[in-house]
């Protein structure tokens, strides 16, 4: 099939950027979306033109590198998948596809479709851990974690840090990302000791980075490739409330 692409091109952070049209010919339905872009890029290089820059690595939905707005949707059509798991069979011959980077003040554009998500790093550094030093920890079975708790924690822990939640949110809120980590560590007994400082520090850093507020829009859950539930945001809100009380 043949596809028309309108791709956001921006040479560097200071460039204004624009949508540029490309024709992708003879696209196989077996291709992944990123493989389709590979082919477009290969042709661009052959013509001596600058290929489209986009982040990607594992190409199996786990590293969180990829992330494109495809026809206005974070990670494109389909539920529970990252951009790299999107295949061309879902598109129609002759379709026009608009491809843009994540748009959020806290995620400045580096080039074309590549954005800077290091705001997430700083939030993690603020408190996304337990302070267990190497060595000197008890046996893995010393503290029991019942299966349902472990499963809930695992649901939250499966966040890949892609930023789709932020891109999908009309307020560019990072609540789902932060809540996933806060919730995982609040659920597990190993994380309980530091729950107060953790939630306060992480939320504080989130605000400093310029992410917006949550207005219960739930677009984050709808576009999250790992289908992380907004119930984790509710748990974080409780944690935050509790922490404020404990602190005072």
Partner 1 sequence: MKLNAKIPAGPIEQKWTKQKFNYKLVNPSNRRKYNIIVVGSGLAGASAAASLGELGYNVHVFTYHESPRRAHSIAAQGGINAPKNYSNDGDSVYRLFYDTIKGGDYRSREGNVYRLAEVSGSIIDQCVAQGVPFARDYAGYLDNRSFGGAQLARTFYARGQTGQQLLLGAYSALSRQIKAGTVKLYARREMLDLVVIEGQARGIVARNLVNGRMESYAADAVVLATGGYSNAFYLSTNAKASNATAIWRAHKKGALFGNPCFTQIHPTCIPLTGSYQSKLTLMSESLRNDGRIWVPKKKGDTRKANDIPESERDYYLERMYPSFGNLVPRDVASRRAKEICDKGMGVGETKLAVYLDLADAIKRLGKNVIAERYGNLCDMYKLITAEDPYEVPMRIYPAVHYTMGGLWVDYDLMATVPGLFVIGEANFSDHGANRLGASALMQGLADGYFVLPYTMGNYLGGTKFKPVDTKHTAFQQSETKITEMIKKFLSIKGKRTVDEFHIALGKILWDYVGMARNKAGLKKALEMIPKLRGEFWRDVNVVGSGNELNAELEKAGRVADYFELSELMALDALHREESCGGHFREEYQTEEGEAKRNDKAFSYVAAWEYAGPNKKPILNKEPLKFEYVIPSQRSYK
Q: Which of residues 75-134 bind ligand FES (CB under 6 A)?
A: 82-84
Strand 96-100 and strand 3-9: the pairing is parallel
Least spacing, CB of residue 24 vs partner 1, in Å: 11
Please name the residues in contact with 146: beta carbons below 8 A apart, sequence gap of 6 or more: none
CA distance 2 to 28: 9
Q: Could you tell me where the DSSP H helices lie in the chain?
A: 33-46, 118-127, 147-157, 164-168, 175-187, 189-192, 195-208, 219-223, 231-247
Told to check if 49 binds partner 1 by CB under 8 A, we report: yes
Options 7, 52, 66, 153; binder of ligand FES; rule CB under 6 A: 66
Rounded to the nearest 5 degrees, what angle is found at the Cα of 241, between the Cα atoms of 179 and 103? 35
Least spacing, CB of residue 32 vs partner 1, in Å: 8
Please name the residues in contact with 154: beta carbons below 8 A apart, sequence gap of 6 or more: none
Residue among 86 and 224 whose Cβ is closer to ligand SF4: 224
Told to check if 228 binds ligand SF4 by CB under 6 A, we report: yes
- Which partner from the list ligand FES, ligand SF4, partner 1, none does 105 bind, CB cut-off 5 to 8 Å by kind? none
Residue among 45 and 58 whose Cβ is closer to ligand FES: 58
Binding site residues, ligand SF4, CB under 6 A: 159-165, 176-177, 180, 224-226, 228
Interaction site with ligand FES (CB under 6 A): 56-59, 61-66, 82-84, 160
């Amino acid at each position: 099939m043949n596809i028309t692409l309108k791709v956001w091109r921006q040479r560097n952070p200071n460039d204004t950027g624009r949508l540029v049209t490309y024709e992708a010919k003879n696209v196989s339905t077996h291709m992944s979306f990123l493989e389709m872009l590979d082919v477009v890029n290969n042709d661009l290089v052959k013509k001596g033109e600058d290929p489209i820059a986009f982040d990607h690595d594992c190409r199996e939905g786990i590293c969180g590198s990829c992330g494109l707005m495809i026809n206005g949707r974070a990670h494109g059509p389909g539920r529970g998948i990252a951009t790299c798991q999107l295949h061309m069979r879902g598109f129609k011959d002759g379709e026009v596809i608009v491809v843009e980077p994540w748009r959020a003040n806290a995620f400045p554009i580096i080039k074309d479709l590549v954005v800077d998500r290091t705001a997430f790093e700083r939030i993690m550094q603020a408190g996304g851990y337990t302070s267990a030093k190497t060595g000197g920890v008890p046996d893995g079975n010393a503290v029991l974690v019942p299966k349902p708790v472990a499963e809930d924690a695992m649901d939250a822990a499966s966040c890949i840090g892609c930023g789709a939640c932020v891109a999908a949110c009309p307020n560019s809120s990072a609540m789902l990302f932060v809540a996933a980590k806060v919730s995982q560590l609040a659920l597990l007994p190993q994380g309980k000791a530091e729950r107060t400082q953790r939630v306060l520090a992480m939320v504080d850093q989130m605000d400093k980075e310029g992410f917006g507020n949550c207005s219960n829009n739930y677009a984050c859950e709808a576009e999250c490739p790992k289908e992380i539930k907004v119930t984790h945001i509710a748990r974080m809100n409780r944690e935050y409330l509790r922490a404020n009380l404990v602190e005072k």
